[in-house]
Amino acid sequence: VMPRVYKMKSETPHVSENILKVAVAEVENGMSLREAACSAGISKSALHRCIKKKCQYPAANLQPNYQHSMIFSVAQEETLSTYLKTCSDMFYGLTPVQSKKKAGRDWLTGFLKRNPKLSVRKPEATSMARASAFNWYTIDIFFNKLQEGFTTVQKTPRVIASKGTKQVGQIASRERGELVTVCCIVSAASVAIPLVVVFRRKLFRNPLLRGAPEGSIGLANQSGWTNAEIFIDVLKHFVKFARPTADHKVLLIMDNHESHLSLQSLEYAKENHVCMMALSPHTSHKTQPLDRSVFGPMKTCFNAAANSWMLSNPGKAITNYDMASLIRQAWEKSSPPTNIMSGFRVTGIWSYDRHVYEDNIFLPSVVTDRDVPQESYSEGSCEKSIRPVKRGQHKKSNSAM
């Protein structure tokens, strides 16, 4: 098998094109081939090939270059590189086999070396709903409570083990874990309200919050997720710490979940001067500050804390009574002010930036994009007509306002 990087068996000195041109000119002026080759530091046969090449093609390039043996030109490879990157940005990336077609593995390896900005990556599965929902129209008409689920079974980390072992084991708490939902609320000023922890059980008991962050409350229901009844308690907890008034209302940004839209919740928020704003469906992975900068590190820190707990308590399993302390460790490490403020900044909420998302971010929705209907009224009549607006036109018209 040919190696990826060929190692020459002998050291061949690198000779620049200028030296070769000088040697050829000396031979043309009457110097012997041997003397010119010795003065240039090259072999006589190499100089003879250059002279022969110069005689046949006076404008020929004397310096050997890998481009001469390339299948595609540099411009064609740049076009192919741009196409592959665009397909990847649209979430329709091509596999190595699809990219090279009839070309061999060696060509693909060389192509990737010549284009270091490309690499073979394992993509993350993204649903069609998420890809098509995040487009210019939905992001332009709006510009943070968010919950995350944790279980009593941690994700095992990488460990050092013997080479050649087919399977490496790591102790986990149990086969299937118990769900615990954590509701987090943070402000653009990096202020974090104490957590709301929802356990999957009928009745809540105070020992379940042992080791939880100061001021946190615990709730319980049979599913372990938040519902309309749970959300009322979350709102009361939020109002207790945010203290909104008629002169100082607060805006609560959250995802578009049915548990947030009950009549009782809306009336309570209105009475307590809380303005609730629901983000468009399937866009929280780009527009939720907590999703962008906090929950990723929090998951990693929780798994690390749970794994350390298992090593410190051999023979024991993590239960609901241990979850609060583990969640506290993960929350304190993953929610410093810099992380919280970064989440609001990258989503364009604070400082407000309506153009925080570049055009290539919306490429996945191009496949399913349709013209956006826009309502307009004719003069002197109340008749309403709907005309389509091309993609991107809505953005440009608003930016000019």
Q: What is the pLDDT of residues 329-345, one digit of tens each?
A: 999 999 999 999 899 99
Amino acid 353: pLDDT = 87
Query: Average of pLDDT values for 27-32?
Result: 88
Tell whether pTM > 0.85: no
* Number of other residues whose CB lies within 10 A of the CB of residue 357: 18
Q: What is the dihedral of CA 256, 260, 264, 269, to 10 degrees?
A: -90
In this predicted structure, what is the pLDDT of residue 2? 52
The segment with the largest mean pLDDT, out of 55-64, 271-280, 318-327, is: 318-327
> For residue 106, what pLDDT is reported?
81
Band of pLDDT at residue 128, cut at 50, 70 and 90: low
Shortest CA distance to 217 belongs to which of 187, 239, 250, 191? 239
**What percent of the chain has pLDDT above 90?**
31
Question: Would you say residue 384 has pLDDT above 50?
Answer: no
Which carries the bigger pLDDT value, residue 162 or residue 170?
Answer: 170
CB 151 within 8 A of CB 180: yes
Q: What is the tens place of the pLDDT at every residue in 147-158? A: 899 999 888 887
More confident call, 96 vs 13: 96
pLDDT digits (tens, 9 = 90+) for 277-302: 888 888 888 889 999 999 999 999 99
pLDDT at 238 over 90: yes
For residue 134, the model assigns a pLDDT of 57
Task: Answer for the pair 294, 192: CB distance below 8 angstroms, yes or no.
Answer: no
| Residues whose CB is less than 8 angstroms from the CB of residue 155 and which lie 6 or more positions away in sequence, other chains included | 299, 303
| CA–CA separation, 260 and 365 (whole Å) | 27
The pLDDT of residue 208 is: 96
**Per-residue model confidence (pLDDT) at position 229:** 94
Q: Which helix (H) or strand (E) holds 241?
A: helix 228-242
Average pLDDT, the chain: 81
Q: At a CB cut-off of 8 Å and minimum separation 6, what does 104 contact?
A: none
Per-residue model confidence (pLDDT) at position 175: 80
